[in-house]
Amino acid sequence: MTSLLPARPDRDAAPSHHTLLVTDAVDQGRRGAASWVEQELSLGSKVFYKGWLPEGGRADQHWLTGPAGPRGARDALSTGQLEFLDFPTLVERSGATANGVLAVYKGEVERALDDLWPTVAMTQESPELPMADDAGLVSEYATWEAGFDDLTHRWPVRMLCQLCVASESERAVWETVAVHHRDVVDGFWSATADDGHWQPRGDLDAHVARRFGAAVHGALRTAREAEHGPDLHLDLSGVDFMDVACADILMLAARSAPAGQHVVLHGGPRFLRRLFDAVGRPASVREGGDPP
Amino acid sequence: MTGGLVRRGLLHLGLLFDGPDDLVASALPTLRQALDDGDEVVVAADRGTVRRLRDALGADARRIAFPPPAAMVRPSAPDFLTAVGRWARPDRRTTVLGQYPATMPARDCGFGEDALGVVLGDLPLTLICCCRRDLDPELLAVLRRTHPQMATPTGPVANPDHRAPATASPTPAALWGEVAGRVGVQNLADLAHLRRCVAEVAARAGLEGDAVRAAVLAVHEAAVDAVRRGEPDHAHLTLEVRTLGHTLLSELTGPHGIPAQQGPGDPLARVRPFCARAVVHDEPERHAVRVLNTV
């Protein structure tokens, strides 16, 4: 199979990543997803899109192929560069278990690579999983998301998980952001992890405080299990603004960390230390050197 | 003696008098309370008033400082706010009694008196501003308009003639100049615009580094409180930022009142560590709130 557009390497685009895109409303999420899909199509990636269809609808009736969708989506759907799978079918094929979900994704990746697509782009809309009522589902979800990490480590796979806050329960938002703390984009703030350092960036304010708190908890949880753990090395050099709500959450998370785990601060403006002192900096928060 | 008035922040009393006996009778309840509470007390009055006050207070008068009236800064003076701010002590309350000079321009006096409540409303000060009834009627009108309470022989009482500076009052503009930045806020998602507005004005005013960060954070926190008290997504807040030299005055107005309490329930507790002053003006009759910060 050949791609609609010739594949060309994008020196700026990482060969693989697993990113969470958080948005407050459905239309914001669609704009972000459309932009991402459009870029992947132009880069010549094979794109797998999973989402919700109106009842009785067909893939070519999804918003993705309408005016709000990415340029070229309708053509890509007809040529096979873009494949759409609706969530009910995914649940049917996977049994909503971690192994089942990963088998579906792995099968898609292998098929695309067999067809000689240079990269595989996979994205799914906010899944509206009933996590609030099902602790077992939370565990399965964490397992398949870890499996997505493996996919992106082994193959040239770029994965964009979409999270629409308006569509999800608080528990689902919390778990989703915590699991994705290594690579999350949420409006004016984002976070990445590299070389054992977790780096939030941008504006951290009351509007996103709960999501930031979830990411902090995810980062602390991961640090405990990491080779370089259990301390969480926090690189603050990319933080443009942090308010009292987010500072409070960060200090509370550090205070409630198990004995022996510290939050080690690297970089960032001196003013942030003044803010931490104002809300109450616990002994478990330490100063480190400059970030690498 | 305080008639139920709680002594927190600025207590700004007006006092109208015909002569020294009249002045002393109206001031005594407040001054006695101040002495009982261990306040630092300063009385800058004419010699007749000082004499009668010494007689009335006896040995307690020795705990009062009596500088000459000419040593006191007038409300109409450009450095009035700075001088008043210096009277405040971190460890105890200061009570100051002063008299309006007959030659003071009423308009300038009004700006100064209004500004006290607007800018210095959280300072531990009791001010007793005294005006003879035979002075310029416009000066009398200023005293009646600008003081929330009046000192009387039975103690401070609420002043029905008091009018807090309106949101659109020329007072802030006259003190601080034209609005340098203005932005509307409906919900928490709008706060990024608010922060940008404050940061831009602060930078234009010559603030740098941590001073800008503190200004932005103080106004942001005030807005977070106000938004959370409003209807979701319809806070109807307006931020106006003014500058005077390297000082920023940010005024946040909205329809939802903030209980003006101090201590553990202080609604501005998150704001105060990052600014020089933060004051709530709750005007329920107009459903307007002003939060001001100088940084």
| Per-residue pLDDT, A9 | 34
Band (pLDDT 50/70/90 cuts) for residue A59 is confident
pLDDT of residue B7 exceeding 60, the answer is no
Q: Which range scores top for mean pLDDT: A9-13, A50-54, A193-197, B259-263?
A: A50-54
Q: Would the pLDDT of B145 be above 60?
A: yes
| Burial B24-54, CB ≥16 within 10 A → b, else e | bbbbbbbbbbbbeeebbbbbbbeeebbebbb
Across the range A204-219, mean pLDDT stands at 96
Kindly provide the residue ranges of all beta strands, DSSP E only, lying in B47-179, ordered along the sequence. 64-65, 94-99, 125-132, 149-150, 157-158
Contact B188 A241 (CB under 8 A): no
**Other beta carbons within 10 Å of A136:** 9
Asked if A280 reaches chain B (Cβ–Cβ under 8 Å), the answer is no
Q: What tens digit of pLDDT does each residue of B95-135 get?
A: 999 999 988 888 888 888 888 877 777 789 999 999 999 99
Hey, what are B123's tokens?
A: 């300072």
Residue A205 and residue A245 in contact, taking contact as beta carbons nearer than 8 Å: yes
Is B3's pLDDT higher than 50? Answer: no
Q: Is the pLDDT of residue B293 over 70?
A: no
Residue B264: what pLDDT?
A: 55
CA–CA separation, A144 vs A97, rounded Å?
Answer: 8
Q: Do residues B227 and B235 lie in contact, with contact meaning Cβ atoms separated by under 8 Å?
A: yes
pLDDT confidence of residue B176: 67
- Would you tell me which residues 254-293 of chain B have a C-beta closer than 8 angstroms to some C-beta of chain A? 270, 273-274
Q: How far apart are CA B219 and CA B250, in angstroms?
A: 7
Cβ neighbours of A207 in B, within 8 Å: 187-189, 191
| ipTM rounded to 2 decimals | 0.82
The packing angle between helices A270-279 and B209-229, to 10°, is 40
Bond preceding residue A67 cis, omega within 30 of 0: no
pLDDT at residue B285 greater than cutoff 70: no
Residue B224: list chain A partners with CB under 8 A. Answer: 205-206, 243-245
Q: How far is CA B57 from CA B32, B52, B63, B70, B236, in A?
A: 8, 9, 10, 23, 52
Instruction: Give residue B174's pLDDT.
Output: 64
By C-alpha distance, the chain A residue nearest B272 is A278
Alpha helices in chain A (DSSP H): 26-43, 73-79, 87-94, 98-114, 135-154, 170-179, 209-225, 244-255, 270-279
Handedness of CA B59, B63, B68, B73 (dihedral sign): negative
H or E element at residue B182? strand B181-185
Spell out which residues of chain A touch residue B192, defining contact as CB-CB under 8 Å.
188, 203, 205
List of chain A residues whose C-beta atoms are within 8 Å of the C-beta of residue B274: 278
Q: What is the largest CA-CA distance in chain A?
A: 60
Query: Which among A203, A243, A271 has the least Cβ separation from residue B224?
Result: A243
Looking at the complex, does the CB of residue B224 fall below 8 Å from at least one CB of chain A?
A: yes
More confident residue, B243 or A4: B243
More confident residue, A27 or A3: A27
**Of the candidates B195, B213, B220, which has its C-beta nearest A269's C-beta?**
B213
Confidence category of residue B262, pLDDT binned at 50, 70, 90: very low
Question: Quick one: tokens of B178?
Answer: 């034209």
pTM equals: 0.77
Q: Using pLDDT thresholds of 50, 70 and 90, give the confidence band for residue A278.
A: very high
Best-predicted range by mean pLDDT (A4-8, A108-112, B244-248): A108-112
Strands B277-283, B288-294: pairing kind: antiparallel
pLDDT of residue A14: 65
Residue among A24, A187, A243 minimizing CB distance to B217: A243
The pLDDT of residue B266:
74
User: Given A24, A203, A245, which is nearest B192 (Cβ)?
Assistant: A203
CA A286 to CA B8: how far, in whole Å?
A: 38
Predicted local distance difference test score (pLDDT) of residue B4: 38
- A262, A267, A269, A272 alpha-carbon torsion, rounded to 10°: -10
> Between A221 and B243, whose confidence is greater?
A221
